[in-house]
């Protein structure tokens, strides 16, 4: 980890802990104690339970908008097992701390690639953090391993003091949903349903220019109606009840209604497959 | 926008984005990058989807409690259409940034009135923010227009560098629910249902002193029972199951139960009409 | 309150207000105005409505992880009645501000004990905060009494300027659920259900070493099945659908499934009683 580089005084924090309990507060307390001059930018704590893939997408999307800084991310269904605790240095100079389960790698790629890979050593972290006399829990490494490591690395402790270098090739990477151009149209996977019920797909809008002004939408392998949809710029262009296809703010092909939930209309969530075809009669 | 005035290093932030997705985090990332010495005071991100009126009330209530600062508010169902992006300077010295859809004006009024009105120019904002080479989305002006403008204005960029002056008379203002004194009693609109189920009405308590110790409560145009209610100081004065009328913390006539939800009992939400009448037999 | 001691620039904030309304934002606005150099660490605002006991547990668990600082906690169903507003100085040097209803005392105990007890005087607080001309609400002492007091005390105003000393013995303390070793096994109370559905009990794991590798679990006084459970280190040790007993991150005996909700399986919430017995055939 490069220490000549000046990172921001921000620590971003992403989990699936929810904000109703003790977990987020406990981690932030540790950060406030060990990195008192740093402030926490909460990305989200409402990642669906154990949904590493959505956590990875959220981090990959938002981290590049941040100033170079430390990113702490804990979506960790394998806590306490032999999955490895990790710190990555990105090409842009960010540090990413979290479990080696696929959560961090896409963000590191979006931040200029994985420059250094470090395997965190809980015993060293806890010694450096002055926590050696307290028990290391088996189920809350956010508080006991990742937050202390994040605070120590953010404030400039050399990575070698609490981790051993590893090979970037050994990083856990998860398969990411792609899209297929078929004879019947483009088939893509739902990767996001936002609070408004807008549906983000796994296909880049720019790579699938819609030659026709309208398309049909079908949920693959469900006995549901085929929907007509119009390709539009934004929600406000749609008539009430009319389904629209648009380029969302992350460049993906997306589906929306105006003032209502497309996800509810189509009854889909993350992982569903959608087919988009040009309309014959358009 | 007055630059001799010393505003606080706070940027308040209000949206209907929810905290489960990428939108709040993306905006705060932009603020952290462009205004690194400023901190974000999250007012709420749980405004009901597109509920400009509640967003406006929340901002109008809380902004005067803040030190003079920049207020960023994005409840923006018309994003990407021809609704105008706005910056207002308040009489007290606050800057308010958001869409020109009625969201900002009541808060500006509560902060000493609208002193200056500026129409934001996305191209100028993005040039000043160093974002000219990145695409401007049609659906996420929070990240692409409003947050950069907020960061630049908060940190002292003259408004004329990213906006053109406009006439305050041209501001969009939304009709606000009032209350009517009728022969059958006071008819007012539900403007707030809080987490406790307390019901805030559109009538000021001080302007409708309740001469009698108890009243009847009726949901207008619903075939529901008429409720007896007692005028009290606070929740703890009420017996179990007893409906109370009180002066809420914003000076409004409000209805509550002790330890239960008045909104559930009366089955009302924002927009419902309530009639309050003196009890004949009181 | 000791002023030679250097507290952190953190104000922690815990309520049952939720983040959808005006209440949390209004209090944080007051803090930002009166203690502009301090930052707010939000512990949680999703304490169940009026659940003083859970608020007390959350504060007791997280406050010791924080640097010595001011803790503002408002779970206050008795607001506006004669319950007393309180400031405590802990043995470690923290200040705790909130209602005298049992919310603060367990945390003070965990922070080195109650060193000083002060009864806040709203009129003095409001005079010191420059709020004398504004009305004191009967239902929102978070904004009108506790947040101003917290800001003033955090920034170094002597407690005697806004409070009178009291006897620590007079503090309201609530009965805390214990556990009983019976002939049929250990009976303990559910004190926590986390977002993952893990069930935390009122018994310390270390004090009840499980001699056998597996136990039976029964919800007391419910006509429900008796569950077999295995004593494990962490969630990942469990097979799908298998109930596990483990030492949670706060040292309590806890129940979990791997990737599913134990609380849903057992249909229990806070307050339920659970019996844990060694398995005869184990």
Task: Please report residues of A whose CB lies closer than 8 A to that of C246.
Answer: 138-139
Q: What is the mean pLDDT of residues B72-82?
A: 94
To the nearest whole Å, the CA of B124 is away from the closest chain C CA by 31
Q: What is the mean pLDDT of residues B180-190?
A: 93
Give the nearest partner residue to C19 out of B44, B249, B259, using CB atoms.
B44
Task: Please report residues of B whose CB lies closer than 8 A to that of A41.
Answer: 25, 28-29, 32
Strand order across the C114-120 sheet: C39-44, C10-15, C70-74, C95-99, C85-90, C114-120, C163-166
Picking from C235, C238, C248, C252 by the largest number of A CB atoms within 10 A of its own CB, the best residue to mutate is: C235
What was the pLDDT predicted at C271? 96
Count CB atoms within 10 A of the CB of residue A27: 28
Q: What is the mean pLDDT of residues A135-160?
A: 96
Q: What is the mean pLDDT of residues B189-213?
A: 91
Task: Please report residues of B whose CB lies closer than 8 A to that of C80.
Answer: 233-237
pLDDT digits (tens, 9 = 90+) for C7-65: 999 999 999 999 999 999 999 999 999 999 999 999 999 999 999 999 999 999 999 99
Task: Please report residues of B whose CB lies closer than 8 A to that of C23.
Answer: 194-195
Q: Is the pLDDT of residue A210 over 70?
A: no
**Window from A207-211, A272-276, C184-188, C202-206 with minimum mean pLDDT:** A207-211
Task: Please report residues of C whose CB lies closer than 8 A to that of A144.
Answer: 249
pLDDT digits (tens, 9 = 90+) for A51-91: 999 999 999 999 999 999 999 999 999 998 899 999 999 99
How many pairs of residues across B and C have Cβ atoms under 8 Å apart? 99
User: In 3D, which of B2, B12, B117, B8 has the Cα closest to residue B63?
Assistant: B12
pLDDT digits (tens, 9 = 90+) for C132-181: 888 899 999 999 999 999 999 999 999 999 999 999 898 999 999 999 99
Give the nearest partner residue to C10 out of A17, A32, A77, using CB atoms.
A32
What was the pLDDT predicted at C223? 75
What was the pLDDT predicted at C210? 66
To the nearest whole Å, the CA of B94 is away from the closest chain A CA by 24
What was the pLDDT predicted at A6? 84
DSSP alpha helix (H) spans, B100-218 = 105-110, 122-128, 141, 147-154
3-state secondary structure chain C: CCCCCCCCCEEEEEECCCCCCCHHHHHHHHHHHHCCCCEEEEEECCCCCCCHHHHHHHHHHHHHHCCCCEEEEECCCCCCCCCCEEEEEECCCCEEEEECCCCCHHHHHHCCCEEEEEEECHHHHHHHCCCCCCCCCCCCHHHHHHHHHHHHHHCCCCHHHCEEEECHHHCCCCCCCCEEEECCEEEEEEEEECCCCCEEEEEECCCCCCCCCEEEEEECCCCCCCEEEEECCCHHHCCCCCEEEEECCCCEEEEECCCCCHHHHHCCCCCCEEEEEECCCC
Q: Is the pLDDT of residue A99 over 60?
A: yes
What was the pLDDT predicted at A14? 98
Task: Please report residues of C whose CB lies closer than 8 A to that of A23.
Answer: 194-195
What was the pLDDT predicted at C87? 98
Provide the phi-psi class of B105: left if phi over 0, else alpha when psi is between -120 and 50, else beta: alpha
Q: Is the pLDDT of residue B175 over 60?
A: yes
Average pLDDT, chain A: 94
Picking from B131, B139, B155 by the largest number of A CB atoms within 10 A of its own CB, the best residue to mutate is: B139
Give the nearest partner residue to C25 out of B43, B196, B251, using CB atoms.
B43
Question: What are the distances in angstroms from CA A188 to CA A184, A192, B44, B183?
Answer: 12, 12, 34, 62
- pLDDT above 70 covers a percentage of chain A that reads 96
Average pLDDT, chain B: 94
Give the nearest partner residue to C62 out of A26, A50, A77, using CB atoms.
A26
pLDDT digits (tens, 9 = 90+) for C54-73: 999 999 999 999 999 999 99
Task: Please report residues of A whose CB lies closer than 8 A to that of C39.
Answer: 39
CB-CB under 8 Å, B251 with C80: no
Record the pTM: 0.96
To the nearest whole Å, the CA of A178 is away from the closest chain B CA by 20
Task: Please report residues of C whose CB lies closer than 8 A to that of A36.
Answer: 8-10, 67
Average pLDDT, chain C: 94
CB-CB under 8 Å, A236 with B26: no
CB-CB under 8 Å, A248 with B139: yes
What was the pLDDT predicted at C84? 95
Q: Is the pLDDT of residue B281 over 90?
A: no
To the nearest whole Å, the CA of C53 is away from the closest chain A CA by 13
Q: What is the mean pLDDT of residues C255-264?
A: 95
CB-CB under 8 Å, C49 with B234: no
Picking from B16, B18, B21 by the largest number of A CB atoms within 10 A of its own CB, the best residue to mutate is: B21
Query: pLDDT-derived band of residue C221, with 50, 70 and 90 as boundaries?
Result: confident
| A251 Cα distance to chain centroid | 16
CB-CB under 8 Å, C16 with B195: yes
Q: Is the pLDDT of residue B2 over 70?
A: no
What was the pLDDT predicted at B223? 74
Task: Please report residues of A whose CB lies closer than 8 A to that of C44.
Answer: 19-22, 24-25
CB-CB under 8 Å, A248 with B81: no
To the nearest whole Å, the CA of B271 is away from the closest chain A CA by 18
Q: What is the mean pLDDT of residues C262-271?
A: 96
CB-CB under 8 Å, B21 with A194: yes
């Amino acid at each position: 980890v490069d220490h000549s580089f000046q990172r921001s005084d921000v620590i971003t924090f992403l989990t699936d802990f929810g904000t109703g309990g003790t977990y987020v507060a406990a981690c932030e307390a540790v950060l406030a104690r060990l990195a008192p001059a740093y402030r926490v930018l909460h990305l989200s704590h409402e990642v669906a339970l154990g949904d590493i893939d959505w956590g990875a997408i959220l981090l990959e999307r938002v981290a590049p908008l941040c100033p170079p800084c430390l990113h702490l991310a804990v979506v960790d269904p394998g806590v306490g097992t032999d999955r490895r605790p990790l710190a990555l240095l990105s090409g842009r100079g960010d540090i990413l701390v979290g479990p080696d389960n696929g959560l961090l790698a896409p963000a590191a790629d979006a931040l200029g690639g994985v420059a250094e890979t470090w395997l965190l050593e809980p015993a060293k972290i806890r010694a450096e953090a002055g926590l050696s006399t307290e028990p290391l829990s088996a189920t809350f490494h956010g508080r006991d391993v990742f937050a202390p490591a994040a605070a120590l690395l953010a404030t400039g402790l050399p990575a070698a003091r609490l981790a051993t270098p590893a090979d970037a090739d050994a990083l856990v990477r998860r398969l990411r949903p792609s899209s297929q151009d078929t004879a019947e149209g483009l088939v893509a996977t739902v990767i996001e349903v936002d609070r408004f019920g807008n549906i983000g797909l796994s296909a880049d809008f720019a790579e699938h220019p819609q030659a026709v002004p309208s398309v049909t939408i079908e949920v693959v392998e469900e006995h549901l109606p085929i929907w007509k949809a119009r390709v539009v710029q934004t929600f406000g262009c749609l008539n009430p009840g009319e389904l629209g296809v648009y380029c969302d703010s992350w460049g993906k092909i997306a589906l929306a209604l105006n003032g209502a939930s497309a996800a509810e209309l189509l009854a889909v969530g993350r992982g569903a497959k959608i087919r988009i075809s040009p309309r014959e009669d358009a």
